[in-house]
Chain A
């Protein structure tokens, strides 16, 4: 099954351990890790933010000049693990019988979505897609939202390392990419066209590789979308 195409109007990418999306795909790390600077958040809004939120803010902020001031985008945020480092801090607090109000406030999966809307004054709808297939599902929801509304949609996907405490996945770096999507009719001359298709397959797709591939403008599977089927992204 294929889905009507959308335009990719702009893309941004950040990895704590790679200089580019291509370097993720080539397994070529930076000489030294780099933390995001996330200038979109100022003053008190920066306090207590986790790496995953900082990553979202970094890539969303990089696309700010591409946004229309008269048609602010609907946003779809994606994250497999969410605020997992904040969860570790909260659990440590529980062991000591206290929870920080500031940490708790920023512990929800849609923390980045909320801080982004506050920082930009954007009252448009926003959602946050999560779970094991978050890269694929967030792409699907974002593309369907473009078709539902005929409006620009900001798709931001990010994840931070899962603390060892949880005995989960061991990816050691933070990674994020943002894509400004729009209807094909509204395409800028240099915009890429993205087509999603649901294709047979059950291969395990690494979320970071899928995200980096999309950010590099390359086609390939984004991840599982239903039993026995992958969501495939074709970029032209």
Chain B
């Protein structure tokens, strides 16, 4: 069963609203800041820090960084959700939320305070630490009352949430679902990725011969999916998921999990690989991840399919990464324009990839989007033009 996408919203370092974020993405704006813009770091890195955002007073929950990021997307999605409530009824609209870190940033600020970081605007509560800390406030604000779930599978979280929403709708427990994600930059992730040697000292360069790692970002991404719609923004044609079963943080050397999940997404979409116009890669910019993903894409598509890596625009937004890339893909279907992968030159010739390195107009009907995470957790989504 395919799902109609009837609403989509993002907020990240490109912009705190769709119009700004899309304009900057599709013109290839560099939105990264030096790491020192967030906090003092004993090493050099770039970060995709979200634009200043208004206090989410309307949500009625603690104004944590995660809630503030989520609210920026939720506000934009609200009209579409209100229309869906009128169509289906509040109790028929599910809410599936995804995050890798949840309220960890908030707990850090209280439990490991740093005078250089803004303090907590309210007192600390463990209720703000949970992955689903914002769920009650956001569902109340949107006026939806269907099934609620929270998913956390590291950087594939939001695609796993989309798969859960698909199950709820396909099996009749809901007629529509708000699928959302938010992750805020925090010291644990910045220091943690650095400790693993995965953080790039300079802005990330996915699939470049000179790539040196990840640029972390933050943001939120929300979509509204429905079982039917007369004029959707796009169709979710298929989702796929598979595990590497190889190593907790290093990818399978032959890209087994990515191959399996891309093929499953294509199978569920009933599409042959040659029907996909381009791949929006997970593309983190690490030596190993890009090498493995490139090999997996070659194996599945058996041609030099165009690839873009939108983490070069948004940074790696962790649990929100999948939906962030998916929403850019949906906008790509609308504009018939592929967002560029920045800083890719010189392309790593050993990877044998056809990178889209500038905004490129082309007919786009189907896009496959990848999101992979720690634990060998892999997911792919095929999205189609209406």
Question: Interface residues, chain A, CB within 8 Å of chain B?
Answer: 1, 3, 80-82, 87, 90-95, 97-101, 104-111, 113-115, 117-118, 120-134, 137, 140-141, 144-145, 147-148, 162, 165-169, 198, 224-228
Contact = CB atoms under 8 A, between A and B. Distances in A.
B192 A90 contact: yes
Contacts of B160: 127-128
A94 B186 CA distance: 10
Interface size class of B (residues with CB under 8 A): 35 or more
6 contacts: A82-B152, A104-B191, A109-B131, A109-B153, A109-B154, A126-B377
A1 B173 contact: yes
Contact of B195 (A95, A101, A198): A101
B248 interface: yes
Contact of B243 (A93, A105, A114): A114
A117 B264 CA distance: 18
A123 B243 contact: yes
Interface in B88-129: 91, 94, 97, 100, 104, 107-108, 111-112, 124-126, 129
Given A91-B107, A94-B108, A97-B42, 13 more contacts: A91-B188, A94-B187, A94-B188, A126-B241, A128-B151, A131-B135, A133-B132, A133-B148, A137-B149, A140-B173, A144-B171, A165-B111, A167-B124
B376 A125 contact: no
Contacts of B195: 98-101, 104
Nearest to A113: B375
Contacts of A226: 91, 94, 145-148
A97 B131 CA distance: 25
Contacts of B97: 131
Given A94-B191, A123-B242, A125-B243, A110 B375 contact: yes
B91 A166 contact: no
Interface stretch (B161-169, B226-234, B287-295, B352-360): B161-169
B335 interface: no
Contacts of B21: none
B246 interface: yes
B260 interface: yes
Contacts of A100: 195
Interface in B345-385: 373-377
Nearest to A92: B112
A108 B375 contact: yes
Contacts of B130: 80-81, 130-132
Contacts of A167: 124-126
Given A123-B256, A227-B145, A107 B188 contact: yes
Given A99-B191, A115-B248, A227-B139, A124 B168 contact: no
B173 to A, nearest CB: 7
B376 A117 contact: yes
B150 interface: yes
Interface in B134-158: 135, 139, 145-154
B106 to A, nearest CB: 11
A134 B151 CA distance: 9
Interface centre among B100, B188, B241 (most CB of A within 10 A): B188
B171 A148 contact: yes
A147 B171 CA distance: 8
A143 to B, nearest CB: 9
B257 interface: yes
